[in-house]
């Protein structure tokens, strides 16, 4: 594809704080950070060598939509500071449409995963144990079935690039966060997922599961941080034709995961390069998710 990509940022005007699997984070001042969504893509907690054109801009647009739509449930880390205003003129092309200036908060050491349907690692766990992350479920459920009784909170650890996140029990989450904070994270994560899932169904999309991250300010106020309900952090399925018992088609990076599974790759670095046809189809899926969910076309520059 001929569209320009941004695999890694180089903002010399600000100190680099961290390079994650997808986001590069810079220090703006004592109270603010610059988060840039690159076009990197990770799968199985490994950064792939091939970027997905315009992916970072699509993630930014979708996250901004959800942050605004769900702000009544919990505050988020966004500010109104334009990213272009805090970098040098020659660096603005690295932040335009793909960056947020956010409040500097203390991230919690868990990922808040909410599952409304059985899929992915949850399906594998259920097949093996009859439970997901220690939460027992009725027998006889099929892949892509909705979870009886409603969405469940299944936290995981947060791993650095190259290491694997691990699903943990709610008791382990309480040990990491304390009972009060663990309860607040679970309650807010399920409320966010439920509101988003209800809206997505009006757009004929099933949100099968998603991942949230939370942080605290100096007064221990809880905030939604990182990204929100993007094709990177969620499984989006077309509601039309949803048939439990098989893996549904998706609008998210599950397409890349499925391709990787077929290559025989052992899920440790280095990852294989992504073929052009897989990249092109992935871009189409991300763009379609943006168009369908937020009723707005994503036009590349």
pTM of the model: 0.92
For 242-258, the pLDDT digits (tens) are 999 998 988 888 889 88
User: Do 177 and 145 share a domain, yes or no?
Assistant: yes
pLDDT at 2: 52
Which helix (H) or strand (E) covers residue 211, if one does? strand 205-216
In the predicted model, is pLDDT for residue 62 greater than 60?
yes
84 touches 94 (CB < 8 A) = no
pLDDT at 230: 95
pLDDT at 164: 62
* Domain total of the chain: 2
Q: Which residues contact 175 (CB under 8 A, 6 or more apart)?
A: none
Q: Compute the mean pLDDT over every residue in the chain, rounded to the nearest whole number.
A: 93
User: Do 194 and 215 share a domain, yes or no?
Assistant: yes
Question: How far is the C-alpha of 57 from the C-alpha of 231, rounded, in Å?
Answer: 12
List C-alpha distances in Å: 144 to 11, 196, 206, 241, 272: 43, 18, 10, 12, 28
Please indicate, yes or no, if residue 239 is contained in any of the structural domains: yes
User: Do 239 and 112 share a domain, yes or no?
Assistant: yes
Phi, psi of 146 (to 5 degrees): -70, 150
For 77-105, the pLDDT digits (tens) are 999 999 999 999 999 999 999 999 999 99
Please indicate, yes or no, if residue 292 is contained in any of the structural domains: no
- Hey, what are 187's tokens? 């309650």
What CATH number has the domain bearing residue 61?
A: 3.30.200.20
Phi, psi of 294 (to 5 degrees): -110, 10
Question: How far is the C-alpha of 38 from the C-alpha of 24, rounded, in Å?
Answer: 7
What CATH number has the domain bearing residue 188?
A: 3.30.470.20
Q: Which residue has the higher pLDDT, 253 or 62?
A: 62
User: Do 90 and 160 share a domain, yes or no?
Assistant: no
Question: How far is the C-alpha of 27 from the C-alpha of 33, rounded, in Å?
Answer: 5
Question: How far is the C-alpha of 121 from the C-alpha of 267, rounded, in Å?
Answer: 14
78, 103, 128: which is the final residue of a domain?
A: 103
In the predicted model, is pLDDT for residue 185 greater than 80?
yes
Please indicate, yes or no, if residue 30 is contained in any of the structural domains: yes
Interior angle at CA 230, CA 79 and CA 134, nearest 5: 110
65, 84, 103: which is the final residue of a domain?
A: 103
User: Do 177 and 122 share a domain, yes or no?
Assistant: yes
Please indicate, yes or no, if residue 282 is contained in any of the structural domains: no
Q: Which of 120-124, 176-180, 206-210 has the lowest mean pLDDT?
A: 120-124
Following DSSP, what letter does each residue of 17-52 receive, concatenated?
Answer: EEE-SSEEEEEEETTEEEEEE-S--EETTEE-SS--
81 touches 32 (CB < 8 A) = yes
Task: Report helix, strand or coil for 103.
Answer: strand
**Which domain range does residue 21 map to?**
16-103
Phi, psi of 208 (to 5 degrees): -70, -40
Question: How far is the C-alpha of 256 from the C-alpha of 50, rounded, in Å?
Answer: 11
pLDDT at 253: 84
Taken in order 160, 216, 106, 59, the sign of the CA dihedral is positive
């Amino acid at each position: 594809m001929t569209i320009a990509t941004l695999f890694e940022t180089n903002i010399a005007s600000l100190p680099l704080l961290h390079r994650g699997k997808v986001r590069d984070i810079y220090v703006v001042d004592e109270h603010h950070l610059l988060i840039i969504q690159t076009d990197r893509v990770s799968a199985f907690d490994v950064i792939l060598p091939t970027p997905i054109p315009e992916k970072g801009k699509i993630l930014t647009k979708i996250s901004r939509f959800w942050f605004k739509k769900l702000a009544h449930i919990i505050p988020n880390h966004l500010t109104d500071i334009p990213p272009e205003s805090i970098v040098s003129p020659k660096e603005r092309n690295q932040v335009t449409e793909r960056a947020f200036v956010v409040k500097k908060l203390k991230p919690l050491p868990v990922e808040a995963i909410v599952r409304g349907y059985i899929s992915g690692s949850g399906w594998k766990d259920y097949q093996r144990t009859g439970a997901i992350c220690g939460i027992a479920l009725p027998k006889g459920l099929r892949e892509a079935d909705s979870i009886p009784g409603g969405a469940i909170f299944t936290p995981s650890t947060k791993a650095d690039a190259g290491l694997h996140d691990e699903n943990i029990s709610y008791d382990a989450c309480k040990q990491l966060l304390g009972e009060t904070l663990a309860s607040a994270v679970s309650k807010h994560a399920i409320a966010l997922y439920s509101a988003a899932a209800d809206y997505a169904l009006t757009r004929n999309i099933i949100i099968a599961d998603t991942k949230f991250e939370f942080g605290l300010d100096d007064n221990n106020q809880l905030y939604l941080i990182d990204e929100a309900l993007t094709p990177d952090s969620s499984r989006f399925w077309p509601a039309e034709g949803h048939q439990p018992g098989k893996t549904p088609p998706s609008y998210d990076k599950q397409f890349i995961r499925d391709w990787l599974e077929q290559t025989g790759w052992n899920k440790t670095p280095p990852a294989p390069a992504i073929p052009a046809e897989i990249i092109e189809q992935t871009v189409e899926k991300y763009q379609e998710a943006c168009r369908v969910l937020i009723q707005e076309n994503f036009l590349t520059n």
